[in-house]
Structure 1
């Protein structure tokens, strides 16, 4: 479902004489349906960089990144947008939404974008918000007014609202209390059970051991660390 072949990434530092820094080199990996793979490695190894490359936020210098058969490296922008809408979900560490949009709409929007009815989308949104312990009195308010922990849980609800065939999870349990951590791990297990291919970054070792089938040490693809 997710396949990378010979993927490399460099950054050009234009304010430092156009120096070229090689950050990731020759990454090849695959993730099957129903599998969760953890990206591991020390800080600076390139875990988040690789995650952003898979989502299409960073361009690659070489290689292929295929999601459900579509090569993101060669895809047109409209194809990338369609893939993100229908196939590839991304739960980042921070919630980014349009101000003044109610929380219910924020969570329901990914489902509405793929044609789910308002009634069904709101029912799913209500279920997720309740599971993640967001009080009902807040559902009509913009999450931009919420605490950091509440925003994180809204972000997770939004990320799991549509049943994406492939998912990227960046520290989904970070800073959560025990009850909400358990909810998130259960959501990941449910996604795996329905066949989602998942790549995640988990600094929570116990969480990683519970939901991940295997680990990939990104340091092996980072020139300065592999040397």
Structure 2
């Protein structure tokens, strides 16, 4: 489902004379349906960089990233947009939405973009918001006014609205209380059970042990350690 071959990445520091900083080389990873793989490694080792390359936010310097057969490194912007809409979900740590759009619609948007009936899309959104303990009076307000923890839960609800075949999870349980943490872990388990291929960053060791099938230390893909 997610295949990474000989992937490399470097950053060019244009404000420092065009210095080139290699950050990844020779990355290899395969994640099958129903499997959850945790990216591990010290801060700065490239975990987030790898996730952003898979999602198409960063351009790779070389190699291939295939998600359900589509090579992100060679895909057109239109192909990447379609992949994000239909196949590849991403739950980041930060909620970025258009101000004044109601929370209920923010969560339903991935389904609405697929042409799902509005009533069904909003019903799914409401079920997730209730599950994640977002009070009903807030559903008609913009989440831009919410606390950080509430925004995180809205982001999680939005990320799990559509049954994506592949998912990227960036610290999905960070800063959550025990009740909401349990909800998120159950959502991940349900996604695995339906066959989603998942790559995640989990600093919560207990959560990682519960939902992840194996760990990949991205430190081994840094240029100094590349084979």
**Would you say same fold, with TM above 0.5?**
yes
Residue of structure 2 equivalent to 1:94? 94
CA contact (8 A) 2:25 2:226 kept: no
Residue of structure 2 equivalent to 1:158? 158
CA distance in 1, matches of 2:208, 2:144: 29
Residue of structure 1 equivalent to 2:76? 76
SS of match in other structure, 2:155? helix
Q: TM-score of the superposition, structure 1-length normalised?
A: 0.98
CA contact (8 A) 2:91 2:170 kept: yes
Please report the RMSD computed on the Cα atoms of aligned residues, expressed in angstroms: 1.0
| Structure 1 residue 225, shift from structure 2 partner | 6.2
Q: TM-score of the superposition, structure 2-length normalised?
A: 0.98
Residue of structure 2 equivalent to 1:206? 206
CA offsets 1:19-55 (integer angstroms, 9 cap, x no match): 1110010101100000000000000100000000000
In the TM superposition, 1:151-190 aligns within 5 A as: 151-190=151-190
CA contact (8 A) 1:7 1:28 kept: yes
Q: Where does the alignment leave 5 or more consecutive residues of structure 2 unmatched?
A: none
After the TM superposition, which segments of 4 or more aligned residues of structure 1 sit over 4 Å from their partners? Answer: 224-227
Q: What is the number of equivalent residue pairs in this alignment?
A: 227
CA distance in 1, matches of 2:29, 2:148: 34
1:12 aligns with 2:12: yes
CA distance in 1, matches of 2:26, 2:120: 43
Residue of structure 2 equivalent to 1:215? 215
| Structure 1 residue 222, shift from structure 2 partner | 1.1
CA distance in 1, matches of 2:226, 2:187: 35
1:47 aligns with 2:51: no
CA distance in 2, matches of 1:63, 1:94: 28
Residue of structure 1 equivalent to 2:26? 26
